Structure 1
């Protein structure tokens, strides 16, 4: 059974097996969580992402999929990159957002990760309403078949933390 925990803080400061990056499809860094992970993790993450782009993800990582790289200087073994849906573009498709969590946990299982830190995927610049995104995230993790022992939702601010806390109970 997977334990779900909540932390208010900086996902790049978490000591876990894998940190999930709310990446853009280019895998080459960006703003928000993506930019923070690339900055704190250092050039090794970008180098791995460039190798992925040069091989199987020449057109970028599709929305809802996940792939792993080194964690570079982060206190983790891996970064699992997943591309969340843009709320306005996807029409708020909950299956696409849930797929980010499920695919990330599948990659975590392939790696043997036991602790995984997730941000609130798609809630920043991608515009997904926090309450709906939190409900989808928690349900996806609770129903996933995974060997991951702890899923840690790392929420940047108090408001996001409270929304998740209401769902976790």
Structure 2
């Protein structure tokens, strides 16, 4: 029967660490994009507020001063909508990268698991065919469950994105 070698354990640990740092880097990239967007929005808001105050101070009569807020409400709504859309794009992009990485990682895990079961079957002692068949059956059931869950998750994400 085959057992894991120290090199295989080290390789598995190294792959886990690399995966963790890959996810962490993607998360930081998303946060970095959100911070940049917020800085840009903050600078724009500051400049717009300065412009509004300048207009308010230079208003010649009260009617001009009272008309100022009404003229600003439409651009503010458009800017809030654009900001929300940009946040959604950033978050969706990071989520898509996470999903892609997780899918690739699971597919590699499936291949590794299948190779392990095949290696186990090759090196199994006589009379263990039933146990090997059970392993294969469990592995197949796990893969089918993953595929169903993955399909449902993709449909959920598509429905949420369409809303």
**Higher share in helix:** 2
Give 1 or 2: higher strand fraction.
1
Q: TM-score, normalised by structure 1?
A: 0.23
Q: Mark the structure with the bigger radius of gyration.
A: 2
